[in-house]
Amino acid sequence: MTANPDPRFHVYDTTMRDGAQQEGLNLSVQDKMHIARHLDDLGVGYIEGGWPGSNPKDTEFFALAAKELELQHATLAAFGATRRAGAVAADDPLVAALRESGASVVTLVAKSHDRHVELALRTTLAENLAMVRDTVQHLRAEGQRVFVDLEHFFNGYLDNRAYALEVVQAATEAGAEVAVLCDTNGGMLPHQVTDIVGDVAAATGARLGIHAHNDTGCAVANSMAAVLAGVTHVQGCLNGYGERTGNADLVTCIANLELKLDRPVLPEGRLAEATRIAHAVSEITNYPPSARQPYTGVSSFAHKAGLHASAIRVDPDLYQHIDPALVGNDMRLLVSEMAGRATIELKGRELGFDLADDPARLARLTDRVKELEQSGYTFEAADASFELLLVEEVEGARPRYFDIESWRVIAEASLAEATVKIVAGGQRLAVIGEGNGPVNALDHALRQAIEQVYPDVAQFHLTDFRVRILDQGHGTDAITRVLIETSDGKDSWVTVGVGPNIIEASWVALTDALTYGLRAHGVAPAAS
C-alpha cells in the first residue's frame, strides 16, 4: 500500500446528510460537529455537512462550522438542489443558501431519470437540463467547486440512455468537476454497474463518481465495481448508515480500496484509526456497532472453531484475510464447546497464561470448558469468567475476596429488597439494598457490603445485562443464562452465570464481576 493518497481520487462522506436519513437517527448540531472532527481525523477527502437552507439545523451547522470547525484533511461540502423549474439560479433562495454556506464545495442533486423529471419535477426534459447548467454555472461563477449527484441515474439509464447521458454532459460542460452516478433505489447488481459506468465513461469522457445504496446487499460491491470501471469519486456513510437498508459503508470501501486495490485514499497511518472512529461515531448516533461489520466489527477477526485455532497457532494469516491491526482491530479467540486445545492454549496466552508446557492441565481445562458449556455457560462472550476459570486451574483457586454466608431477595410490586450477608477482611457484613427489580437490589446490596472492605468496588458499574432462557421446552423449569457487563470507567468486562432462575444466574455473574474487577485492579484479598 502506498503512503500518500492520490489527489485525483475522492473519498466523500455523506454520513451527516444521507446517513442521517436512517430511521431513528437524529443528529444535533453538536453531534454533527463531533462526527465531522472524527471524519477529518480519519482523513476522508470530503465531508457533506447537510443541506443549508432546507432546515434550521443544517443552516446552524454551517454557520457554526465556519467559526469553529478547523479541518486538517477534509473539505466541507454543502448539499443542495438545482434551481426550481422556471426560475433563475441567481434568484433561487435555496441556491443562495448554498452560496452563503461558507462551503467551498457544493454537491447538487439533479434529476437524470426522464420519468422523475416529468412526474416529480413536473417540467420538461429540456428545462431540467437548463436547471442543471444554470445552477452549476452560477455557483462556479461565485467561486465554488461543484459536484453533481445524478439521482436515480442507473434506472434512468436503463429507461432512457440518451437522456441520462445528456444530463451527465450538461453538468460536465457547465463546470461540474464530478458527475456522480447514484443508485438511489439500491437495486443494481455489480455486473450492471460495471457495464453502465464503462459505457458512460466512454460516451461522455466525464469524471464520474458512485453513490450506492444497499437494498440488494451490494452497495460496497457496486462501489468497487464502479471503481474498477473507471470512477474516481466514491461516496458512502460511516457504518453503512442511510435510509432503508443504508448506504455503502465508507470504511469498508476505504479498506477495500487501500488494502485490496492498492489505491491510497487516506493520509498515511489513518486507516489504523478506522475501528476506533467507526465505534466513536456509533456512540454519538446511539446505534450500537454491528459485531459482524467488515473490518471494524468486534467479530470481524474472531475465531471459534478449534480447527481455525490450530492453524492460527502456526500462522495467523491462514484464517484471516488481513492483519486486523491495519484497520485498528484485534484478533479474538472465542472459547466455546467447539474449542479444541489449541483455542484454549492461544486464549490462555492472550490472557497471560502459558499452558503449552502442561498438556495435562490444558486437557483438563478444555474438558471443563466443554462440560460447563454443555450445562448452559458460554465463554465466547464472557472473557472475564473464562479468565477466572484459568486462574482457578493454574493457581489452584480463584481469589477469595469474600465468603458468602447467605443472600435473599423479596420483591413486591415495583420495589425489590435484597439482604446480603458476607464475610470479608475478617468482618461479618450484613447489608440491605433496594432496587427497581430483584437483580438491581441484589447488585446494590452486594456492592455496598464489599465496598466497606474494598473501596475500588465504588468504581464498578453494571453497564449491560442480558438474559437468555435455555431449554425453553421446559417452561418455567428452564435453565437461565445471564451475561453481565461491568465497567470501571476505563475498561469493561463480561461475566456469565447460569442457574434455575434469573436471580440465581445473576448472582453468579455478579460475584464473578466483582472478583474479576478487584483482581484486575491489583487488589489483594484482605486478611481474615
Class assignment of domain 403-520? alpha beta
**For the chain, domain boundaries:** 10-285, 302-374, 403-520
pLDDT tens, position by position, 423-474 = 998 889 999 999 888 888 999 999 999 999 999 999 998 888 888 887 655 4
pLDDT band with cut points at 50, 70 and 90 for residue 58 = very high
What Cα–Cα distance (Å) separates residue 441 from each residue in 57, 86, 290, 419? 43, 68, 32, 9
Q: Is the pLDDT of residue 528 over 80?
A: no
pLDDT band with cut points at 50, 70 and 90 for residue 303 = low
pLDDT band with cut points at 50, 70 and 90 for residue 260 = very high
For residues 258 and 273, give the distance between their C-alpha atoms in angstroms, rounded to a whole number.
Answer: 14
Write out the H or E segment, with its range, that includes residue 192. Answer: helix 190-204
Q: Which residue has the higher pLDDT, 332 or 527?
A: 527
Tell me which residue of 104, 119, 191, 103 sits closest to 152, measured CA to CA: 119
Q: Which residue has the higher pLDDT, 478 or 220?
A: 220
pLDDT tens, position by position, 185-215 = 999 999 999 999 999 999 999 999 999 999 9
For residues 199 and 245, give the distance between their C-alpha atoms in angstroms, rounded to a whole number.
Answer: 28
Does the domain at residues 10-285 carry the CATH identifier 3.40.50.1220? no
- What is the model's pLDDT at position 382? 79
pLDDT tens, position by position, 378-403 = 776 778 888 888 888 888 888 889 99
Q: Is 66 helix (H, G, I), strand (E, B) or coil?
A: helix
Q: What number of residues does the chain have? A: 528
Residue 526 has, within 13 A of its CA and on its CB side, a CA count of 17
25: buried, middle or exposed (CB in 10 Å: 19+, 13-18, 0-12)?
middle
pLDDT tens, position by position, 250-259 = 999 999 999 9
What is the rounded (10 degree) CA torsion for 347, 350, 351, 357? 70
DSSP per-residue codes, 328-386: T---EE--STT--HHHHHHHHHHTT---TT-HHHHHHHHHHHHHHHHTT---TT-HHHH
pLDDT band with cut points at 50, 70 and 90 for residue 477 = low
- The per-residue pLDDT of the chain, averaged, comes to 88
- What is the model's pLDDT at position 300? 74
- What is the model's pLDDT at position 338? 46
pLDDT tens, position by position, 75-126 = 999 999 999 999 999 999 999 999 999 999 999 999 999 999 999 999 999 9
For residues 32 and 38, give the distance between their C-alpha atoms in angstroms, rounded to a whole number.
Answer: 10
pTM: 0.71
Q: Is the pLDDT of residue 279 over 70?
A: yes
Q: Is the pLDDT of residue 74 over 70?
A: yes
Cell match 448539499: residue?
79
Average pLDDT estimate for 40-62: 95
Question: Which residues, other chains included, contact 278 with Cβ-Cβ below 8 Å and sequence gap of 6+?
Answer: 238, 239, 251, 289, 293, 296
| Cβ atoms within 10 Å, residue 195 | 13
Q: Extract the C-alpha cell encoding 370.
A: 466443554
Tell me which residue of 45, 53, 52, 51 sits closest to 76, measured CA to CA: 45
Question: Which residues, other chains included, contact 107 with Cβ-Cβ below 8 Å and sequence gap of 6+?
Answer: 12, 48, 77, 78, 79, 80, 146, 147, 148, 149, 180
- What is the model's pLDDT at position 310? 52
Q: Is the pLDDT of residue 6 over 80?
A: no
Q: Is 406 helix (H, G, I), strand (E, B) or coil?
A: strand
pLDDT tens, position by position, 136-153 = 999 999 999 999 999 999
Q: Which residue has the higher pLDDT, 311 or 432?
A: 432
Q: Which residue has the higher pLDDT, 286 or 52?
A: 52
Q: Is the pLDDT of residue 337 over 50?
A: no
Q: Are 507 and 442 in contact (CB under 8 A)?
A: yes
- What is the model's pLDDT at position 332? 60
Q: Are 10-285 and 403-520 the same fold in CATH?
A: no
For residues 10 and 180, give the distance between their C-alpha atoms in angstroms, rounded to a whole number.
Answer: 11
